[in-house]
Structures are given as C-alpha cells and as structure tokens.
Amino acid sequence: MLYNGGIYRALLVGHIMMVIIGFGAVFLGGVYGNLAKKRQGREGQAIAEAAYHVAGEVGEKFIMAVPVFGVLLVLASHKAAKFSQTWVWLALILFAIAFGVAQAVHMPNLRRMNALMGELNAMQPAPAGPGAMAGPPPQVLELLARGKKAAIVGTFLNVMVIVLVVLMVWKPGL
C-alpha cells in the first residue's frame, strides 16, 4: 500500500493532471490527422498546424513534467514505492523510450508534413496541355508516405501510454 500523506496526495494530483493534460493533448493526434487529410488545402493545413501546436508546444511541456512528478511521488512515499520495483523502473525506461521516439521521429515528421502542406498550398495550379507535369507534385507523394509513418509511430506512442497506465494501475513487482 502506498503512503497517503498530504504532500504525497498533492504530488499524486499533480502527476495525474500532467498525464491527463499532456497525453490528452497528443493521444487523439490521429483523429486530427484524418480530419486534415479529408479537408486538405488550407483548411487541412490549419487543422494539422493547430494539432501540432497543441501536442508539440503545449502538451509536451506537461508530458515532460510527468516523470518529474513520478520521481517525486516515489521519494515522498516513505519507501512504500522504490526505484527498484519493476513498475517504477520499467515505467521510467518506457517513458524515456517513448519520449525519445516522439522527439527524434514523430515530431520532426509532423513538422515536415506541415511544411509540405504549406508548399502545396502556395503552389499555382499546374498548366494543362503538352509539357504538363504527369502525376501529382512530389510533395503529395512525400506527404502520403509521411502520413503513413505518422500513423504507425503515433499508434506506437499511444500503445506506450496505455502500457504506462497499466503499469501505474497494476504495479507489477510491488
């Protein structure tokens, strides 16, 4: 049983709020991605840019606070929770992996997708007739490939969030 003192409870509330706000801001990113794909054009770009802002510029700050509150909870638990317990060390490692993947792979990919949408929206309509470009502009093909990558990596990150929540609830090794 974990310690339930006043400081511990305040830290627990902080930890839970950081999780709700931070991961809540990013968990439904795929929904926004699908909306942006359906709307396309400037409207789709606006949706994608707003989603990136909420996830990358707002949610990320709360997500970075999650392990800080988690470590403080362990320290405030009067040794009821220990860093040697499986659920604690595994959660910290999995969080670091997920955060690293988000920073090194997912967010740069989303930034590039937003840039590609901007390039496409700034283009003039292609001329028709002889000498006209065959097929879509290269940005379209890259955007489609990056969209698939975003779906795969986003799903991986969402699964990691679920695994972390399961670790927090079941606490294996406690």
pLDDT value at position 60? 98
Question: Quick one: how far is CA 28 from the chain centroid?
Answer: 9
pLDDT value at position 131? 67
The list of the chain residues with pLDDT below 50 reads: none
What percentage of the chain's residues is helix, strand, coil (to nearest 5)? 80, 0, 20
Span 139-156, pLDDT tens digits: 999 999 999 999 999 999
DSSP alpha helices (H): ranges in 28-137?
Answer: 29-39, 41-52, 60-76, 86-101, 107-122
> Are the CB atoms for 104 and 53 separated by under 8 Å?
no
Q: Is the pTM of this model over 0.85?
A: yes
Span 104-132, pLDDT tens digits: 999 999 999 999 999 999 998 877 777 66
